[in-house]
A and B are shown apart, each in its own frame.
Chain A
Amino acid sequence: MITLTFIALVTLAAAAVAMSQRNLIHSALLLVASWAGIAGFYLWAGAEFVAFAQILVYVGAVSMVVLFAVLLTRRSHAELAIAPASVKRILAAIVAGGAVLGALFGAVLSTPLASAAAPPPAISVKALGAQLLGRHTASVLLIAVLLTVALLGAVVIASTNSKEDAP
């Protein structure tokens, strides 16, 4: 419980600060910390494989993509610090987010959730692999196709297709 609370607090804090940073690069780095915290949660919950997938995909890959996006879309150092958003929108956001938070908390706390104290369901990586390539082969193939299409789509969208588009 204490470990969980600690992980949760660290993750939430990193995420919250990341969302409020002015410097985009700082935001990205803090988000990496937040994702790593989530990976820690997975480890704590006993889903090692997912934890490593989280680290590989988010901490490793997505963060790099984010950094590249940041670098590709900035024109000068001065613009790195982006202009503050309008107060009205921030207030609206906090109100909306607070409402959602309240509703969710209310829902979670008011629901009697049976919490089994049993040991975590053990799933070995081997068994997981057998499941993935056994019962769920079709899904894996679909995901593979999806990833390929997304990759190609990303390339097509981001590529310069005419001279005037080039920065």
Chain B
Amino acid sequence: MSLSPLQLCLLFSSALFCVGLIGALARSNTILVLLGVELMLNAANINFIAFWRYGPAPSPATGVLFVIFAIAVAAAEAAVGLALVIAVYRHRRSIQLQDANSLKG
């Protein structure tokens, strides 16, 4: 079985996504959870570029524009997320994600 470059790219992004997911699930440090989510976002961006590069009838700019906007949103997300981490830390003296469970039903 021979892999096409597009499939290889998609496998790469899937693997990166799962690394991020496992990190986010396994680690208890909130910062690392955030970074895992960040990796998942990057995997999505890789998909955009892959389809832009190899996909059928690519428009010259669509994929690139998607990625640019996604990066901008991700940057905003990272800033707010890390600020939240700091705020939670101030409040609870902990950055363990499982300590922040005030919403428990």
Contacts and interface: CB of A to CB of B under 8 A. Distances in A.
A45 B19 contact: no
B4 interface: yes
Determine the main DSSP class of B at the interface with A.
Answer: helix
Nearest to A48: B64
Contacts of B55: 116
Interface residues of B, number: 71
A50 B56 CA distance: 20
Nearest to B4: A115
Interface string A75-86: 100000011010
B27 A46 contact: no
Contacts, number: 228
A143 B85 CA distance: 23
A53 B68 CA distance: 7
Interface in B51-67: 52-56, 58-61, 63-65, 67
A47 B73 contact: no
B39 to A, nearest CB: 6
Looking at A8, A94, A113, the one whose CB has the most chain B CB atoms below 10 A away is A113
Looking at B11, B35, B56, B87, the one whose CB has the most chain A CB atoms below 10 A away is B35
7 contacts: A8-B12, A35-B42, A57-B74, A73-B31, A101-B14, A109-B11, A115-B54
